[in-house]
């Protein structure tokens, strides 16, 4: 295999500073205030080996601080390794800090030229692609305004568009799903697929296992700077999720069994998991626990956050009661949920029509830290749902349907 990216025994060290502050009055009297020391060195990345071929996409998962961005930066030539080496063949497109390189006083048009040329295109090449770049970013109306008048979303869209129109042979992508709304994200996804199909080698950091499984050929899991699992995306993300669940379990405070407002029993570490920094206090299904096939369903989650929590992510899943099969999985990531919550509130999911096969299900609800690292509160198989009507089916779906049968000769 001729690798477009070859990473060998890569290591990067940083210095970590501690707040050397005594915690108690006694400690203060005994030790006095110590000055901030030189800090201790640690390996943010170590012993990383990875080769990515042209046309291949490799996903990177790992908790905050695991070294994912450091790996992408070193691959993009930002910073120097303390151990090992990175070799990259071809032009690099980086979707790291989108829009960060723009100059606020220049117009969008001027910035497109500056960043296009910086990415290795000639002026003529930028000119030829200009229309495509602007229309992809959906900024036709504001391209001649100074970039400082753009919202951060507009800057990110322009940054993404320039990067994906420079014919990169190697693309480094950090959590691009924070760009724009759902329609724009779908467009980004499709563009990334096209670039891959044209032979570009891609490294993708994502907190979404689904995205990694759908897009990538392989994945690696970074933990404290080292690769702990590498292989098929489903295997890597599966193991990562198991660990995330056990992290949630570890953080779940011991509490006596409580009753949800609807009267259902909630037992910690059996059907309820999470740190409870945001607590789900009630879940209401409308029209109710029983609905007809193809009817609308509204899931209203009442929550309480005693202290302010930034950008929690709400999730609603529907699983089949007999085998736990996941039939639906939706979360607020798609609405760019960046708000802070404090006190009581509601998160409401309205499903226009639920075309599930008739049968018994559970509605599973959760609220998670914004990077999915652990649950604040997750209620699993607590809220039953029965879908009535329709013909019985072994499948999951129960859409409206009609059969037409044509034959030359009907059986008599």
Q: By CB under 6 A, name the binding residues for ligand ATP.
A: 14, 44, 62, 64-70
User: Measured from the CB of residue 253, what is the shortest distance to ligand ATP in angstroms?
Assistant: 25
Whole-number Å distance between alpha carbons of 47 and 221: 13
- Pick between residue 145 and residue 178 the one whose CB is nearest to ligand ATP: 178
DSSP letter, residue 335: G
- Edge to edge, the sheet with strand 3-16 lists 40-53, 3-16, 83-88
- Pick between residue 44 and residue 171 the one whose CB is nearest to ligand ATP: 44
User: Measured from the CB of residue 64, what is the shortest distance to ligand ATP in angstroms?
Assistant: 3
User: Measured from the CB of residue 67, what is the shortest distance to ligand ATP in angstroms?
Assistant: 4
Whole-number Å distance between alpha carbons of 116 and 125: 9
User: Measured from the CB of residue 40, what is the shortest distance to ligand ATP in angstroms?
Assistant: 11
CB atoms within 10 A of CB 381: 14
Both tokens assigned to 74: 């070193």
- Pick between residue 69 and residue 155 the one whose CB is nearest to ligand ATP: 69
Whole-number Å distance between alpha carbons of 328 and 316: 8
User: Measured from the CB of residue 49, what is the shortest distance to ligand ATP in angstroms?
Assistant: 17
Whole-number Å distance between alpha carbons of 231 and 222: 12
Name the 3-class secondary structure at 397.
strand
- Pick between residue 60 and residue 301 the one whose CB is nearest to ligand ATP: 60
Whole-number Å distance between alpha carbons of 102 and 171: 19
- Pick between residue 45 and residue 280 the one whose CB is nearest to ligand ATP: 45
User: Measured from the CB of residue 135, what is the shortest distance to ligand ATP in angstroms?
Assistant: 31
- Pick between residue 45 and residue 385 the one whose CB is nearest to ligand ATP: 45
- Pick between residue 44 and residue 154 the one whose CB is nearest to ligand ATP: 44
Q: How many CA atoms lie within 13 A of 334 on its CB side?
A: 10
User: Measured from the CB of residue 93, what is the shortest distance to ligand ATP in angstroms?
Assistant: 19
User: Measured from the CB of residue 240, what is the shortest distance to ligand ATP in angstroms?
Assistant: 13
Query: Would the CA dihedral through 83, 84, 90, 96 be positive or negative?
Result: negative
H or E segment and range at residue 317: strand 313-320
User: Measured from the CB of residue 11, what is the shortest distance to ligand ATP in angstroms?
Assistant: 12
- Pick between residue 54 and residue 220 the one whose CB is nearest to ligand ATP: 220
Both tokens assigned to 16: 């970590």
Strand partners, 61: 221
- Pick between residue 171 and residue 291 the one whose CB is nearest to ligand ATP: 171
Asked whether 332 and 354 are in contact (CB, 8 A), the reply is: no
Asked whether 275 and 375 are in contact (CB, 8 A), the reply is: yes
What does 221-239 look like in DSSP terms, one character per residue? EEETTEEEEEE-HHHHHHH
């Amino acid at each position: 295999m001729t690798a477009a990216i070859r990473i060998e025994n890569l290591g990067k060290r940083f210095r970590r500073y501690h707040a050397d502050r005594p915690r108690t009055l006694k400690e203060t009297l005994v030790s006095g205030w110590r000055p901030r020391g030189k800090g201790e060195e640690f390996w943010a990345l170590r012993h990383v080996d990875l080769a990515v071929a042209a046309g291949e996409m490799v996903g990177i998962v790992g908790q905050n601080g695991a070294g994912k961005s450091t790996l992408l930066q070193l691959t993009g030539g930002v910073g120097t390794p303390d151990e090992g080496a990175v070799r990259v063949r071809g032009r690099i497109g980086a979707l790291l800090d989108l829009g960060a390189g723009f100059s606020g006083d220049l117009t969008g048009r001027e910035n497109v030229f500056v960043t296009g040329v910086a990415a290795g295109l000639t002026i003529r090449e930028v000119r030829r692609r200009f229309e495509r770049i602007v229309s992809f970013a959906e900024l036709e109306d504001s391209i001649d305004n100074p970039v400082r008048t753009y919202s951060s979303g507009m800057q990110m869209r322009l940054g993404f568009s320039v990067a994906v129109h420079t014919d990169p042979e190697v693309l480094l992508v950090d959590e691009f799903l924070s760009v724009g709304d759902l329609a724009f994200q779908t467009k980004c996804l499709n563009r990334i697929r096209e670039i891959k199909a044209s032979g570009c080698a891609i490294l993708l950091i994502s907190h979404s296992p689904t995205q990694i499984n759908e897009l990538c050929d392989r994945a690696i899991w970074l933990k404290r700077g080292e690769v702990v699992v590498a292989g098929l995306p489903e295997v890597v993300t599966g193991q990562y999720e198991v660990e995330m669940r056990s992290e949630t379990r570890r953080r779940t405070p011991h509490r006596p069994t409580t009753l949800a407002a609807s009267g259902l029993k909630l037992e910690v570490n059996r059907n309820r998991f999470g740190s409870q920094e945001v607590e789900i206090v009630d879940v209401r299904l409308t029209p109710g626990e029983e609905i007809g096939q193809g009817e609308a369903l509204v899931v209203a989650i009442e929550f309480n956050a005693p202290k302010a929590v930034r950008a929690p992510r709400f999730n609603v899943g529907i699983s089949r009661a007999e085998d736990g099969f996941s039939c639906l999985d939706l979360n607020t990531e798609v609405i760019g949920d960046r708000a802070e919550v404090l006190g009581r509130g509601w998160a409401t999911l309205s499903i226009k029509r639920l075309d599930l096969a008739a049968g018994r299900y559970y509605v599973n609800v959760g609220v998670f830290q914004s990077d999915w690292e652990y649950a604040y509160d997750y209620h699993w198989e607590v809220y039953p749902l029965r879908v009535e009507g329709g013909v019985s089916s072994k499948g999951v779906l129960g859409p409206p349907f009609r059969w037409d049968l044509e034959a030359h000769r009907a059986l008599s």
